[in-house]
Structure 1
Amino acid sequence: MKTLMLASLLLLAGCATTGGADAPPVDVRGAEVAERTMDNGDMVQEYRVSGQLRMVKVTPSRGAPYYLYDRNGDGRMDNDKDSVSPVYWKLYSW
């Protein structure tokens, strides 16, 4: 009985943590996606909304994909104070 109750609680907890985790922080609905493969095997996907670059997903030939975003819509990838674009990795997913 305890095992059944624990299993059902774990199932519910897993379902509760999966919602909205895959949504990017910028609106890329209806975006045109251009894919290209670099010489080293990395795949680059550019997401453009109304011709403006909003998000870039880079999938290295070895390693986890990472993302670059344009959060404020000025057409340039967001920079920190040292003019270096922050890179975002997806660390955990179900």
Structure 2
Amino acid sequence: MRLLRFCRPYAIGLLGGCVATLATTAWPQPSLSELDLRVTEADIAPQVRVRDYQNRTVEEFSVNNNVYMVRITPAAGAPYYLVDTDGSGNMEWNRGRPGFDLQVPQWALLSW
């Protein structure tokens, strides 16, 4: 019994010192070279939403819910593309307003 009363303050002091040392120790932070920052194919694979109409098929390509391209395939004729140039996700039509660039349809000349 005496031994326990004698050792208890030393054990508490030793434990408190260890906790204080661990609290003040600066743990090394991982550097960017240690982190895995590779982009996988699943991160950049586009999601395609297809809408069928009577005279055309509209395909919306998006990544992270941001539409970046729309492919319109008419019933008769070659498909054409609308591309979001400013990253807003909206395909703007600014016809007839001065100071705005017109977003014209784009056709694919070569594809492989």
TM-score relative to the length of structure 2: 0.48
Q: Which residue of 1 aligns with 2:75?
A: 61
Aligned match of 2:106: 88
Q: Which has the higher contact order (CA 8 A, sep 6+)?
A: 1
- Bigger Rg, which one: 2
* Unmatched runs of 5 consecutive residues or more in structure 1: 1-28
Deviation at 1:31, TM superposition (A): 1.2
| Alignment coverage as a number of residue pairs | 65
Give CA deviations for 1:5-37 in whole Å, capped at 9, x if unaligned: xxxxxxxxxxxxxxxxxxxxxxxx411101111
Aligned runs of 1:1-94 on 2, under 5 Å? Answer: 29-40=44-55, 42-77=56-91, 81-82=99-100, 84-93=102-111
| TM-score, structure 1 as length reference | 0.56
How far off is 1:79 after superposition? 5.6
In the alignment, is the contact (CA less than 8 A) between 1:71 and 1:78 conserved in 2? Answer: no
- SS of 2:51's equivalent in the other structure is strand
Match of 2:34 in 1: none
Percentage of identical aligned residues: 37
CA deviations 1:32-89 (Å, max 9, x no partner) are 101111122x111000111111100001110000000012312222666556421101
Partner letter of residue 34 of structure 1? R
Higher helix share: 2
